[in-house]
Structure 1
Amino acid sequence: MSTSVLATTEMHELTDAELSEQTGQALLSLGYTNPSATGEGKNTSDYGFYKLGLEAKVELNANIKNLQLGCGGTNGAGACDIDMSNVSLSGLPDGRLADGTATWSKDRPSTSAEITNPFLEFAIKNPNSASTREVTGFRLSAEKIMGYLSAGTDNIANPTDGIKSFSGFIKVAKTPVNAFTKEAFFGTTEDQRIFAKITALGLFPTTVFTDASSMQSSTNGGSPWGIKVPSQKVQFDFPETIVSGNRMSQLNLVVQDVPIPTISIGADNGAIKMLLDEPISLLFGAIYADKATFYMGEKDTTSAGCAANRNTKNCSYIDNLKANVTVKQNFNLIHNLPITSGGYLSLQSEKIKWPGSDAADVAQPGFWLSFKDPLDFGALNPTSGIGMDDVLPQIATFITNYLSQNNIDLDLAKTFDAITGAPIYKGIGAITLADNARAVMTLSNLLLDSNQKPVSNCYGGLKFC
C-alpha cells in the first residue's frame, strides 16, 4: 500500500497534446485593454491598460484611524485629495431597526466585505512607442465588491471626524427627503413688505402696504405683528444625481419644483399692520385712516378650520407655492456608504477614463475614489426644522404680484372699521401664486436621523478600535 500511495503522488510529465486537454484556473491573471477597441480613455490612440489580477475571493474587515491620500502634491498644499478618519469596512448589514439604524445578526466585527477578483491596473501612455511610453496612473479595484463602509463615530451636528475631504465620483441613488419648516412670522421685516390694492364699497381705490416702522411692535402678548406661518412638511425625492470633483467637503444636490403645502390663514394666525397711501374719500369728505390692523381672515375663523374646510369666503390661503431646493450637506455628516457592486481607488498624473467605469466618471489628477453603482443613503430625514428667513421675502414678492392684479374690496362695515382704526377682518380667498413663481430654498448641514448613525466595528463598548 505504501508503494501504491507513493506512486500516485509522483508528478508525471505531460506531452503538449496531453497538456492541451487539461482545464483549470490560474491564481494570477494578466490582461491588456486596448482603448481604441473599447472607445475608452482620454485619447483612444494614446493609452493602453495593463491589468494584473488575483482570481480569488478576498474577505476583509478593517478599521483605519486616519486615511489621508494626496496631501499637498499636484492639487496644492494644505489639504488632501482624500481625508477620512475613523473608517470601517465590514460586511453588509442584514437588518435595520425601526429608526433606520443598520444591524448585524452576528455583530458587525464578525462580518467581512467580499472582494471578488481584485486587480492592479496601470495606464500606459503611448504604449506602442518604446521611447515615449509612460506610466500615467494606476488603480486598485476588483470585479465585484460587497461591503459596508462607514466613517466617523457619532451622528452629531458638528462632527470633527469622518469624511473631511473627498475626491472622486459618486452616483447618489434616488433619495426621499422628509423635512419640515420652522414656524415663522411673516410680514415682520422690511424685506417682507406687502403692497395691495383696496377699494371701499367698490369705489375710492387706494393702496395699502405693511407698516415697516411698526412691524416689530408688540401689542398681542409680546409677539410681533405678522402672520404666523405654521411648520409645514416638505417631502420630495431627489432624482439620481452624480457628484464628482476634487477635494470636495460638501455634497450638493438640487431638485426643482418641490410643492409646498397650502398655507391656510385665519384670524388667529396674526395680523399685518397696514398703512393707506391716501385717505378714503367718501362723498361727504376725506376721512383719514392712517393705520389699520388687517387680518387675512374673518373674526371667527381659525387657520386649522380654514385648512379643514377650505372656506374661501372667510379664509385666506397661499396656494401654488413651489420651491427649487438645494441641499448642501457636509460630507462628515454622511457616515454610511453601502457598497453593493464595486469601485476603485486610483492615482493619475492627468485625466484618465478607466476601462469599465461610468460614462461620466473621468478620474482627475491626484488620488480618486470612485463607486460603480448608485449609493443608497436611505432617506434623508433631518432632525431639525428648515429656517424660512430666506424664503419669506420671496413669498412677499409673489403675494404683492398677485394682489396687484386683484383688488381687496371693503364693504360698508369694514370701511367704517378702517376709518375708525378698528381691526379689519377680511377673508380674501385663495392667493394663487403664478405658475412660474419659485422660491429658492436651501437646506444646509442638517442633522440626519438614525439611518446615518455609525455602528461600531469593535467588540465590547468601544466606539473605534
Structure 2
Amino acid sequence: MFKIKPLFFTLISLSTLDLSVGYAESMTLQNLSDEQLSDVTGQALMTLSYIAPTDTTNLEAKRVGGDTNIGFYKLGLEADLELNANIKKLQLGCGGVNGVGGCDIDIDNLSLSGLGNSATSNTASVGDRSARVGSSAVLTNPFIQFAIKNPNSASIRQVVGINLSSEKAVGLMTFGTENKVDAFNNGIPNGINSLSGYMNIAAQTGKATINPITISQNSNVNPTGIILAGKACSTGLFGGCGIIRTTYKTTSYNITLTPTSQALLTLPQQPIEGKRMSSVLLKASTTVNNINLSGQLAADTTLLGIKISGNTSGILNNLKVNATIDESLGLFHKATLKGTPVLLSTQFQDIKWPGAESIAQKGWWLEISNPIDIGDITPNKNIDIAMPTIKDALVEVNKFLEANWVYCGSFALSCLTGNIPLGTANLPINASPVDMAMKNLSLKNQSFTPNCYGSLKFC
C-alpha cells in the first residue's frame, strides 16, 4: 500500500514574469525582444544533464577496473517530493542474472516516512504512531539516471544501467514488524530476507559478560591437548629467584577460568556490502582483564626428576580478543536518512554511479550511505568462550610462562608441598589477539514505531 502526499514545486520563473492575476488582459502572451528575454530568469521544473566518459566526475571511468566508455544521462525533477509509503513485500531481481533460487532484494514490511519522534522515542504509543504516520520523507530533487555504453555511437550504444535516487533524502526507513526477541533474549529475524547493496554501520560500544569455563589438559572436561611449560625457582631473600631453578611441563591440569569484570566491546564504523546477503560479519575488539585461574595442576620438572602437583592459582590480564558478530540482516530494522541520498539501481554490469559510495554490482542494488545506528552492542546474554579461543589464549599464556619465572617460595617448598602459584600473567601489548564468535545479537537501537494508527504492527 502506498500513501503519497502532494508534491510541492517552487517555480521561481513564475514570479519573474510579472503576471498580474487581477487583470484578465495581462494573461495574454506578449512578444518579448531579445533584450527583454535576456533579463528573464527562472528555474526549470525538469532538468537534463550528461556526464561524459572523459568527465572528471565520471567515477566509473576513474575507478580501477572501471569501464571508460560509459556516460550518464540524468533526468531530474527540481522539487521536493514528500512520501509516506508502506510496502508489504518488496522483491527485486528474483532469479535473473544472479541465478535462480533467490532475489537480489527481498524485504518484508518496508516503510518509508518522516522522522516522527524517532530521535527521542521509538515506542508504539498513540503519540509516536501519530507523529510517524503524520510525517513524510522528503526527497530533494529526485531523478532517474541512465548509464549508456558507447554514448557517442548511435549504432552500438546501449543502456547498461538505471539508477533511481535523489540529491538528498531525509526520513525514516524501517524493515519488518518489530525488534523481536525469543524467551532466551535472542533476536528473531524479520524484515530483510536478502539484500544486494551497501550500508554503513556506525561505531558502537558494548559490554560483554563472559561465563567461567573449566578446562583440562587431556581429561574429559574440555580437553585442550596443550601442555603448559615454563620455568620455576625458589624465592630469594630479597625477591627474585633463589638458587633452586628448574623448568617444568604439565602432565595434567583442571583449571577454571573466571573473568571477574566485563569486557568493553568496541565496534568501529564499518561498511557492509555484497550480493544477496542474508547475514553479515561485524568486527569488534576488546581486552579482557582480571581472569582468575584456579584448580589443580601436575607437572614434571628437570630438577632431579621431581614431580610437583597440587592447587594452582593466578590471574590473567591483557587478553586481546577479536570478536566476530555473525548478524542476520533480519535484525536490522531501522535506517535514519539524514540528508545523504538513497540509491536504488539495476545494472547489467558493475557500475560506480556518480555520487555513490559503493560499486553497484550486477543486478539490483540498494545503497544507504548514511551510517546506521545499531545501538549498544552489549550481547543479550552471557558469552561462552569457545575452545578454539581457549587454545589460542593458552598459546599466549605459554609465551608468558616461557619468559617469566614461577616463584615457589623459600627452597621451593611452596611448589613441593602442593601450592603452585602461577602469579599474575600480564600478556604483552603485542600478543596476538584470540578470536571470539557471537551470533545474532538483539540490537538495542533497532526498535521502531509502526507506521500505522491503532494497534497494527503493519498496515
Question: Partners in 1 of 2:225 and 2:261 — Cα distance?
Answer: 19
Deviations 1:113-139 (A, max 9, x none): 101111111111101111101011111
Give the letter for the 1:30 counterpart: L
Aligned length, in residue pairs = 413
Question: Partners in 2 of 1:89 and 1:158 — Cα distance?
Answer: 23
Question: Partners in 1 of 2:405 and 2:122 — Cα distance?
Answer: 50
- Check the 8 A contact 2:122/2:448 in 1, yes or no: no
Partner of 2:14: none
| Worse overlay, 430-439 or 27-36 | 430-439
- Check the 8 A contact 1:199/1:205 in 2, yes or no: yes
**Residues 5-404 of structure 1 correspond to what in structure 2 (within 5 A)?**
5-38=23-56, 39-42=58-61, 45-94=68-117, 96=119, 104=128, 106-155=130-179, 156=181, 157-173=186-202, 175-188=203-216, 189-191=222-224, 193=226, 194-199=228-233, 202-203=243-244, 205=246, 207-209=248-250, 211=252, 215=254, 226-230=255-259, 232-255=261-284, 258-265=285-292, 270-271=294-295, 273-277=296-300, 281=304, 292-296=309-313, 316-340=314-338, 341-358=340-357, 361-389=358-386, 390-404=388-402
Deviations 1:200-242 (A, max 9, x none): 6753735242626xx4xxxxxxxxxx22413542324333322
CA shift for structure 1 position 100: 10
Question: Partners in 2 of 1:74 and 1:180 — Cα distance?
Answer: 42
Give the letter for the 1:41 counterpart: E
Question: Partners in 1 of 2:122 and 2:137 — Cα distance?
Answer: 24
- Check the 8 A contact 1:151/1:454 in 2, yes or no: no
Question: Partners in 1 of 2:189 and 2:421 — Cα distance?
Answer: 53
Question: Partners in 1 of 2:372 and 2:350 — Cα distance?
Answer: 24
Partner of 1:406: 404
TM value normalised by structure 1: 0.79
Alignment partner of 1:148: what SS?
strand
Closer, same or farther in 2 for the Cα pair 1:11/1:187, shift >3 Å?
same
Question: Partners in 2 of 1:261 and 1:294 — Cα distance?
Answer: 24
Give the letter for the 1:398 counterpart: E
Are 1:435 and 2:417 an aligned pair?
Answer: no
1:461 to 444, 455, 459: 455
CA shift for structure 1 position 365: 0.7
Deviations 1:167-205 (A, max 9, x none): 1122333x1220313222243422174334344675373
Closer, same or farther in 2 for the Cα pair 1:67/1:99, shift >3 Å?
closer
Question: Partners in 2 of 1:383 and 1:99 — Cα distance?
Answer: 19
Alignment partner of 2:59: what SS?
coil
Give the letter for the 1:388 counterpart: I
Closer, same or farther in 2 for the Cα pair 1:77/1:232, shift >3 Å?
farther
- Check the 8 A contact 1:196/1:209 in 2, yes or no: no
- Check the 8 A contact 2:286/2:322 in 1, yes or no: no
Question: Partners in 1 of 2:409 and 2:131 — Cα distance?
Answer: 72
Deviations 1:401-427 (A, max 9, x none): 2112333232359737745xxx52636
Closer, same or farther in 2 for the Cα pair 1:354/1:288, shift >3 Å?
closer
Give the letter for the 2:54 counterpart: S
Closer, same or farther in 2 for the Cα pair 1:261/1:45, shift >3 Å?
closer
Which stretches in structure 2 are left out of the alignment for 5+ residues? Answer: 1-21, 217-221, 236-242
Deviations 1:233-267 (A, max 9, x none): 23243333222221122222335xx44142253xx
Question: Partners in 1 of 2:414 and 2:161 — Cα distance?
Answer: 82
CA shift for structure 1 position 332: 0.9
Closer, same or farther in 2 for the Cα pair 1:198/1:122, shift >3 Å?
same
Question: Partners in 1 of 2:213 and 2:68 — Cα distance?
Answer: 64
CA shift for structure 1 position 106: 4.8
Alignment partner of 1:391: what SS?
helix
Alignment partner of 1:332: what SS?
helix
Deviations 1:305-347 (A, max 9, x none): xxxxxxxxxxx33223212232321111111111112121001
Alignment partner of 2:430: what SS?
coil
Are 1:452 and 2:446 an aligned pair?
Answer: yes
Alignment partner of 1:127: what SS?
coil
Partner of 1:310: none
Alignment partner of 2:163: what SS?
strand
The two structures, once aligned, show a CA RMSD in angstroms of 3.1
Closer, same or farther in 2 for the Cα pair 1:323/1:138, shift >3 Å?
same
Closer, same or farther in 2 for the Cα pair 1:186/1:445, shift >3 Å?
same
- Check the 8 A contact 1:187/1:396 in 2, yes or no: no
Which stretches in structure 1 are left out of the alignment for 5+ residues? Answer: 216-225, 297-315
Give the letter for the 1:368 counterpart: W
